[in-house]
Amino acid sequence: MSPLTIILNILLPPLAVFMKHGLGGTFLISLILTIIGWIPGVIHAFIVND
């Protein structure tokens, strides 16, 4: 995982997921989790971008 991906996973989880997977279900899940709470979005981004 690159340093840029790690930084984006922490600061903007949906953007990090979008950069790797594009628009789709994974991005929508990341967006919803980030809206609900920032921490679930970050955790999801790290799991998906592994």
Residue 10 lies inside a defined structural domain of this protein: no
Residue 50's pLDDT band, with cuts at 50, 70 and 90, is: confident
- Looking at residue 6, its amino acid is I
Residue 37 lies inside a defined structural domain of this protein: yes
Number of domains the chain is built from: 1
Residue 48 lies inside a defined structural domain of this protein: yes
Residue 41 lies inside a defined structural domain of this protein: yes
Written as six digits, the tokens of 21 are 């997977």
pLDDT digits (tens, 9 = 90+) for 7-48: 999 999 999 999 999 999 999 999 999 999 999 999 999 999
Domain range spanning residue 46?
A: 24-50
Over the range 2-41, which residues count as b (16 or more CB within 10 Å of their CB) and which as e?
A: eeeeeebbeebbbebbbebeeeeebbebbbebbeeeeebb
